[in-house]
Amino acid sequence: HPHNTYTKLTLLPELQWPKTGNRQYSPPIHKPKENKAEEPISSTETRSMANSRCAVVTGANRGLGFAICRQLAASGVVVVLTARDENRGIQAVDDLKSNHGVSPDNIVYHQLDVTDSSSIASLADFIKTQFGKLDILVQIGDRVATYGDLLLFFFPPCREKINWDEAIINTYDSAVKGLKTNYYAAKEMTQTFLPLLQLSDSPRIVNITSSTGSLQNVKNEWARGVLGDAEHLSEERVEQVLNRFLKDFKDGLLDNKKHRWTAAYSPCYVLSKASLSAYTRIIAKRYPSFCVNCVCPGYVKTQGTFNLGNYTPEEAAGAAVRLALLPDGGPSGRYFSMMEEASF
């Protein structure tokens, strides 16, 4: 999906952010020790972890999430790398320790399926037991919710020649699943971890979004008005929009001029990301001591974009890591495009 182009950082210039790109971090080197991700953590390690900043990163076994884990761990944060597939998650942790200079003290794996309430609860119990609190929550749910040859979209020479009605198929079932992953799962994760975040001295939530989900791409005037009304935003109002969208989808009204919803190839993706941005503002307002923001990391070279993006995961991860490491009093309830604040 298209993203805003990179712009020079103009916000918070006094902060010394971790560098990204080809240059690698030089974290303190710890003596290696046997510490398999799936093994229980000792009581000594638990006490040590309780004195460290702890982060949970979802969808982190590859790509952007993997890079965010590496950079946070290199900054001294103890990172819980999560992934739905246990083998891939453990392999990712081993890779970070063996090939990327991450100390075994700063990385651990825990299974997580963000669409499964019991899986979320299991992770919360683990964090409570091992850390006693949560300092940073980074959420990277990103389900496009379309069927078809998406390579046609990501490959620029094809875009102007494609009949998108034939190349891309949107189904009601895929829309329901997309909303569940991109919005409802993020909401449930946030609600579940709020009590642990409230125990932190510096709670941070970073929601990964996309410029595709900007309000200008929401063409339904009523929906755009609801999602853009920061003063009166609530979960109930956001979900009224999503329920109306699904009703119109089911009734075959998405392309009706009166009911036109979005300007993109995946209306569900647009609505889910716009709703996530709105939810970010709701939580930021409700918890003023938190720093809660959403960020579009740019067009990233990942498996999901067929490695056709403009930025490597390492380069893109810096934007999220900056928000995760904001000092007290930093911005909250904002939308960032890469390094720069932008309008919703």
Question: Tokens in use for 23?
Answer: 């240059």
Number of CB atoms found within 10 A of residue 170's CB: 20
User: Which of these, 343, 202, 251, 193, lies nearest to 243 by C-alpha position?
Assistant: 251
Cβ-Cβ contacts under 8 Å for 332 (sequence gap 6 or more): 284, 288, 290, 291, 292, 293
Active site residue 269: yes
Q: Which listed residue (269, 279, 287, 311) is catalytic?
A: 269
Q: Would you state the pLDDT for residue 340?
A: 84
Residue ranges and CATH numbers for the domains of the chain are: 43-342 (3.40.50.720)
Helix (H) or strand (E) holding 206: strand 204-208
Which pLDDT score is estimated for 201?
96
CB 270 within 8 A of CB 212: yes
> How far, in whole angstroms, is CA 258 from its chain's centroid?
33
Rounded distance between C-alpha atoms, residue 278 and residue 133, angstroms: 26
Residues of the chain falling short of pLDDT 50: 1-50, 145-149, 152, 164
Q: Which residues lie below 8 Å from residue 55, measured CB to CB, with a gap of 6+?
A: 72, 77, 78, 79, 80, 134, 135, 136, 137, 138, 324
Q: How far is CA 217 from the centre of its chain?
A: 20
Residue 57's pLDDT is 98
